[in-house]
Amino acid sequence: MKALVTRLDSFGDVLLAGPAVRAVAARAERVTLLCGPRGEPAARLLPGVDEILVWDAPWSSFEPPPVDRGEIDRLLDSLDADTALVLTSFHQSPLPTALLLRLAGVRHIAADSVDYPGTLLDVRHQRAPHAHEAEAALDLAEAAGFPRADDGRLRVLPPPDTTGLTGREPYVVLHPGASVPARAWSPERCAQAVRELAAAGHRVVVTGGRGERDLTSRVAAGHGLDLGGRTGAAELSGVLAGARAVVTGNTGPAHLAAAVGTPVVSLFAPVVPAERWRPYGVPYVLLGDQDAPCAGSRARACPVPGHPCLESVTAHDVLAAVEKVMTP
């Protein structure tokens, strides 16, 4: 049996699909993962994936491309599967993807759907009302005939040795960036936390992508080791695996930290529900006002002046949380 799993949005979303992917891989001869460009680096870290197809869907990206018939035809020609699992967030519809899979000749398609699917789905599953995204994906996989194959925790391929980047001494990671501004703690607060952690005797490593070098430099500011722009996804997994704790917002590195077993201090803006997106399967502390006016809005830019849900968090709060969850 050739199986296809689709998860078309972000890096963190693809990581959360990992346990379901492994459940499919335990029963299928071959597993193809169809993901978007932002999710591709995470897809390359997942165990159980034999092939990766990358497609920027017009209904998934922050900046979605126009509908292009030629691109769709090329996608349909590349799909070869007997059965498919369409993974989506609780607020997304799987039906556009299911339509394309049906046109590609996929015979058996399963998805969570509140909308009437007609003949697009063979398994129309209803997710539990408050399920974490990783649990929801596992539940759908089981409904489609792929029961859990292991403990169901997040997992990635073995991380590389990154002591050449970090040094061998114990350290805490602070990752100041986020996929959207509403989920990011301010650079000033991040820099304060680095200073507070360093003053308490913790060595701090500051991480960020290539486009975040100015941010990481500002946050590290001589009190932390600045690794901004120096780690791809695999290297970042190694850096996070070596940390005693990771401080970050609700963004991909929080889920990558969980996938390598590192505790997380999560600066969690409530624009999406923490019950669905909190760090999964590791010790964690949530910081931030979960009852703020922006709660559940899915806003990308904070709709409340001053970003109070996160700016109410202090550097001392972060220090206390780190010392509560960090590994010995």
For residue 215, the one-letter residue type is L
- Cα–Cα distances in angstroms (integers) from residue 179 to residues 114, 168, 325, in the given order: 27, 30, 24
* Confidence band of 292 (pLDDT split at 50, 70, 90): confident
Tell whether the model's pLDDT for residue 140 goes beyond 80.
yes
Long-range residue pairs from 94-98, CB within 8 A, at least 24 positions apart, any chain: 94/121, 95/120, 95/121, 96/57, 96/59, 97/6, 97/8, 97/57
The type of residue at 117 is P
Q: Give the pLDDT of residue 261.
A: 97
Domains 2-143 and 163-325 alike in fold: yes
For residue 114, the SS3 value is coil
Stated length of the chain: 328
Is pLDDT of 285 > 80?
A: yes
Helices (H) and strands (E) in the chain, counts: 14, 12
CB-based burial label for 29 (10 Å; 0-12, 13-18, 19+):
exposed
pLDDT of residue 96: 97
> How is residue 29 written in tokens?
């001869």
Q: Give just the sign of the alpha carbon dihedral 136, 52, 259, 174.
A: negative
Q: Would the pTM of this model clear 0.85, i.e. be above it? A: yes
- The CA-based dihedral angle spanning residues 76, 78, 80, 83, taken in that order and rounded to the nearest 10 degrees: -50
pLDDT confidence of residue 328? 76
Percentage of residues in the chain having pLDDT higher than 90: 83
pLDDT at 144: 98
pLDDT at 91: 83
Per-residue pLDDT at 298: 82
For every residue of 296-316, DSSP letters joined together read T---SS-SSTT-HHHHT--HH
The answer to whether residue 138 scores a pLDDT higher than 80 is yes
Which parts of the chain are beta strand (E)? 2-7, 30-35, 51-54, 83-86, 108-112, 123-125, 172-175, 204-206, 225-226, 246-249, 264-267, 284-287
Tens of pLDDT along 38-48? 999 999 999 99
At residue 26, the pLDDT reads 98
Which helix (H) or strand (E) is 238 found in, with range? helix 233-241
Supply the pLDDT for residue 120: 98
Task: Determine the Cα–Cα distance for residues 182 and 180; give it in Å rounded to an integer.
Answer: 6
On whether the 163-325 domain is CATH 3.50.50.60, my answer is no
User: Which phi and psi (to 5°) does residue 286 adopt?
Assistant: -95, 130
CA distance 212 to 153: 29
Among all chains, which residue has been given the structure tokens 């649990």?
135
Q: Are 176 and 318 in contact (CB under 8 A)?
A: no
Which amino acid does the sequence have at 243? A
pLDDT at 32 over 90: yes
Span of 39-48, 90-99, 189-198, 296-305 with lowest mean pLDDT: 296-305
> Are the C-beta atoms of residues 37 and 54 closer than 8 Å to each other?
yes
* Domain range annotation of the chain: 2-143, 163-325
Alpha helices in 91-212 (DSSP H): 95-103, 133-143, 163-166, 187-199
* pLDDT for res 15: 98
170-191: average pLDDT: 92
Paired sense of beta strands 264-267 and 284-287, if any: parallel
How far is the C-alpha of 25 from the C-alpha of 28, rounded, in Å?
5
State the fold for domain 2-143: Rossmann fold (3.40.50)
